[in-house]
Amino acid sequence: MNRPITTLFMLMSIDGKISTGSNDNLDVDKDFPKIEGLKEGLHQYYEIEQTTDLWSFNTGRVQKKMGVNEKQLPDKTIVSFVLLDNSHLNENGIRYFCALSKRFVLITSNKDHPAFNVKEDNLNIIYQEEFSLSKALEELKEKYGCERLTVQSGGTLNSLFLREKLFDYVDIVVAPVLIGGKNTSTLIDGESLTKEEELNKLGVLELIDCTKLENSYLRLRYRFVH
């Protein structure tokens, strides 16, 4: 395989929502710890997260939502982070991930991105005039030695992974809550299929494991059947 083995790892509600609402002020990481019946079992998701791959893929939008543009620089970890971003991260956000990461790779199509002003030994930039997810993944493996990648991005980008058949596994922690709202982001957003001949873009999955966790949480692990 000329790209990393990828796993979609997410926390979602029973109805597939990965946010608590339709704007960036609402977020499961910020809101679930406040909700009785959810906060008690939430730690299990973060404990499982600590066992995922040592390469992690996310987006600048998600990280801006988490406040990295204003946060103090963190301690170094053993995880290498890959972020896709054109306009959401500022220089502090870039320096935050340089401090956090063993190796930090930014994927961007913005030639004026603030990352180009940051000089850190572990900062690497994949610049693409036209974004290609598949080519970016190939470069991650060939140039940076990324063999396995955990994906924790938003529903739109998850859809791109899905439609281009770039997912290998799904590892989902299901929280015991229904959120609703047609404009609230789900595990897979993006454009809907409109033609019968597009059905081959569906993600067909084989169940590997189903684990009942504490406090009515559930862990589901699947393998994609391509």
Query: What's the pLDDT at 24?
Result: 84
Q: What percentage of residues in the chain have a pLDDT greater than 90?
A: 97
| % of the chain with per-residue pLDDT over 70 | 100
The whole-number average pLDDT for the span 6-22 is 97
Averaged pLDDT, 38-44: 98
For residue 136, what is the domain's CATH number? 3.40.430.10
User: Does residue 80 register a pLDDT over 90?
Assistant: yes
For residue 107, the enclosing domain spans 5-224
Give residue 226's pLDDT: 76
| pLDDT per residue as tens digits for the range 212-225 | 999 999 999 999 99
CA gap 2, 214 in Å, rounded:
39
Q: What is the pLDDT of residues 92-143, one digit of tens each?
A: 999 999 999 999 999 999 999 999 999 999 999 999 999 999 999 999 999 9
Give the pLDDT confidence score for residue 176 in this predicted structure: 98
Give the number of domains in the chain: 1
- Give the pLDDT band of residue 161 (cuts 50, 70, 90): very high
Confidence bin at 5 (pLDDT 50/70/90): very high
Give pTM, 2 decimals: 0.95
User: Of the ranges 73-82, 99-108, 196-205, which one carries the lowest mean pLDDT score?
Assistant: 196-205
Q: What is the mean pLDDT of residues 27-33?
A: 94
Is a pLDDT exceeding 80 seen at residue 159? yes
| DSSP-assigned letters across all residues of the chain | --S-EEEEEEEEETT-BSSSSSSTT--HHHHGGGSTTTTTTTHHHHHHHTTS-SEEEEEHHHHHHTTTTTSPP----S-EEEEE-SSS--HHHHHHHHHH-SSEEEEES-TT-GGGG---TTEEEEE-SS--HHHHHHHHHHHH---EEEE---HHHHHHHHHTT---EEEEEEES-----TTS-BSS-SPPP-SGGGGGGS--EEEEEEEE-GGG-EEEEEEE--
